[in-house]
Chain A
Amino acid sequence: MSTPLFSVIGLEKRFGAVAALRGVDLELPRGGALAILGPNGAGKSTLLRIMAGLAHPSAGRVELEGGKARGASIGYLGHATLLYPELTAHENLVFACRLHRRSDPASRADTLLAEEGLAEVAHRRAGGFSRGMAQRLSIARARVHDPEVLLLDEPFTGLDRRSADRLTERLRELRDAGHALVLVTHDVGQAAALSDEVVILIEGRVQGRHHGVSASGLETAYEAALESRSAARR
């Protein structure tokens, strides 16, 4: 069996007495797309931040191709845009390129802006961007170092329908271009539309894994998992 691109092994995270993650195991093949679905407070964002290397686990580990995960191979798009509102779109990307030690920051920024359809607003300040434009610029920012894995934390938050559709299309294009995707969401439809595998995470535990299911099938499974946890608590 080939080594998965990205592995999460026995991951636990505690904040004092509160356990946010309780032994999470995940695997992502090269070019695969994994959605992590769960209600608020399930530990999804904590899991993604540990996968990105932004937080340390209390136990367990994250591996990239069997070795320690490296920031250079991981692109991260969080709840927030990670952008500087005073800088222009182009300056934001040039700065991100320089942080990632790219040798050609200006031309890489131009390429990414063109790919995200932002070339015309390249020299406008990011602070004046709509939520949809800022999200596209954030995706460009996450891709400055051409990472193998893109970690996306609720990327549809605050987007209108048109912008959300456009983002879905863009993420499909990135997946088809060979990027592996990990998408954290509480939206069943987006999880089903964008991923090969959906993991349901509730109260820090994996409550189910689903491959190639329809949105309605996933909805039923998700409701059942939520109900099962509620019943266990009672």
Chain B
Amino acid sequence: MNVALAILWKDLVCEWRSRDRVVAMLLFSLLMALVFHFALPDRRPEEMRALAPGLLWTAWIFASLLGLNRSFALELENDALSGLALAPGTRGWIFLGKAAASFVLISLVEVLTAFVFALFFDLDLIQPAARLAGVAALGTLGITCMGTLLAAMAVRTRFREVLLPILLLPALFPVLAGAVDATIAVMEGHPPPFEAIQLLIVIDGVYLVVSFLGFDYILDE
């Protein structure tokens, strides 16, 4: 557990000093909000509110891809990845530290992006804020667990920027389905459907366990 906490601390300190991941993710999601705004002109407010959950999760997932790719690109500089691989013990703790740092940074970007979407699409996110945060946390957990594992797999390949989305997006279909269903209900002022939350919890659990155990084999050459 100490190893995971050390990696979480290291990633957050490095990000605080460089700010390259958060800024890139944030700019990307702001641009996506703008693209959606211009790609869907002259819509009635209620139409936009109906589309907003899907658009919001699309922006969050694509911004996450940027952040997850960058998370391991940082480890390639000076071959720091080898330094991590040399640590004794279960490498699952390395996964957990990297995933926790990505979770924190992606969550931060999601909060800021949600405010922009609220402005652009005239959404009331204050009322359902607590429930929305819960749904976002469950969805983001699935994204960061599988994303961290696949980013570690892709990082040593020549086409890592392309490979990560190709590998990760299909794995995120169930996360997206559950998260969008739950977000639609929450934004309409209802509690999230049990089936959607159940799906998210099961997928998160599976991705967490698979990634924790699978990480032992990922860092070897």
Q: Tell me the residues in window 82-103 of chain A with beta carbons closer than 8 Å to chain B beta carbons.
A: 82-87, 91, 95-96, 98-101
- Residues of chain B touching chain A, judged by Cβ–Cβ distance below 8 Å, are 2-3, 5-7, 9-10, 13-14, 17-18, 74, 77-80, 82-89, 220-221
* B14 and A54 form a contact (CB under 8 A): no
Complex: A116 Cα to B6 Cα, angstroms: 24
Complex: A56 Cα to B3 Cα, angstroms: 23
With contacts A54-B221, A82-B80, A83-B78 taken as known, whether A71 is within 8 angstroms of B86 at the C-beta atoms is yes
Nearest A residue (CB) for B87: A99
Contacts of B84 in A (CB 8 A): 99
12 intermolecular pairs with C-beta atoms under 8 Å apart? A54-B220, A56-B221, A70-B88, A76-B86, A80-B78, A82-B79, A83-B80, A84-B10, A84-B80, A87-B14, A99-B6, A100-B87
Q: Closest CB of chain A to B100's CB: distance in Å?
A: 15
Nearest B residue (CB) for A52: B86
Contacts of B10 in A (CB 8 A): 84, 87, 91, 95
* B6 and A82 form a contact (CB under 8 A): no
Q: Closest CB of chain A to B4's CB: distance in Å?
A: 10
Count residues of chain A with CB under 8 A from any CB of chain B. 30
Nearest A residue (CB) for B17: A86
* A54 and B82 form a contact (CB under 8 A): yes
- Choose one: A55, A72, A91, A96; the contact of B83 (CB below 8 Å): A96
Q: Tell me the residues in window 136-169 of chain A with beta carbons closer than 8 Å to chain B beta carbons.
A: 141
* A101 and B2 form a contact (CB under 8 A): yes
Q: Determine if A185 is an interface residue (Cβ-Cβ < 8 Å).
A: no
Q: Closest CB of chain A to B22's CB: distance in Å?
A: 14
Complex: A162 Cα to B79 Cα, angstroms: 25
Lowest 5 A-B CB distances belong to which pairs? Answer: A80-B79, A98-B6, A55-B221, A82-B83, A99-B87
* A82 and B78 form a contact (CB under 8 A): yes
Contacts of B6 in A (CB 8 A): 95, 98-99
Contacts of A96 in B (CB 8 A): 83
Nearest B residue (CB) for A147: B86
Nearest A residue (CB) for B97: A99
Nearest B residue (CB) for A73: B88
- Choose one: A49, A80, A99, A125; the contact of B3 (CB below 8 Å): A99
With contacts A78-B79, A86-B18 taken as known, whether A55 is within 8 angstroms of B220 at the C-beta atoms is yes
Contacts of A71 in B (CB 8 A): 86-88
Contacts of A74 in B (CB 8 A): 86
Q: Determine if A14 is an interface residue (Cβ-Cβ < 8 Å).
A: no
